[in-house]
Amino acid sequence: MLGALSLTGCGSSGGEGEKSTSSDPAKTEAPTASAAQREALDQMVAEGRSKIEPLKKAFEGTYSDIKLDAVYPGTVRYRYVLANQVDPGKAVGELKKQAPTLQSSCKTGLFPAMKNAGVTVEPRVQYLYLNADRSKLWSYTCKP
């Protein structure tokens, strides 16, 4: 069952620091998305949502819910809720093993699509895995 947890995900685990371009290192501001980028991100999410029902059916019994939403300025976020409670230690261990494959998937598929759609400010893909009780198991964020 844990192999199905990583049905589609990409990224790098947290901990990657980003350098500030601000002259004052204590004062950093998140980039803002233009109206065009927000529209492009919303369109990508809308298109992705049309594929959620087939995923739910394909993984019936594994996930009780799968959601897709936009987080501005440039993140597409997938949320997977497991159908049955699992041991977090075991699940996270199995998910972490998928990191190289997941990063490659983002690099070769999702990020080129995001760029082509006009999502160029802080493009990210985040996968959030929740246990059946909706407690967080693992979050995986892919950065180009």
- The residue-averaged pLDDT of 120-126 equals 95
pLDDT of residue 23: 37
Token readout for 129 is 């895995």
CB atoms within 10 A of CB 109: 13
> CA quadruple 128, 126, 61, 95: dihedral positive or negative?
negative
CA 119/CA 17 separation, integer angstroms? 21
Tens of pLDDT, residue by residue over 59-99, are 999 999 999 999 999 999 999 999 999 999 899 998 888 87
CA 135/CA 91 separation, integer angstroms? 13
Using CA atoms, how far residue 137 sits from 9, 74, 91, 97, 103, in Å, is: 14, 23, 7, 14, 19
Token readout for 109 is 């598929």
Which residues are bridge partners to 80 per DSSP?
66, 129
- Amino acid identity for residue 78 in this structure: Y
Q: For the chain, which residues make up each domain, given as ranges?
A: 33-142
- Amino acid identity for residue 140 in this structure: Y
Q: Residue count of the chain, please give it.
A: 144
7 versus 36: the higher-pLDDT residue is 36
Find, among 67, 65, 68, the residue nearest to 45 by Cα. Answer: 68
CATH (residue range 33-142): 3.30.300
3 versus 32: the higher-pLDDT residue is 32
Give the pairing type, strands 136-142 and 63-71.
unpaired
pLDDT of residue 13: 35
Which residues are bridge partners to 68 per DSSP?
78
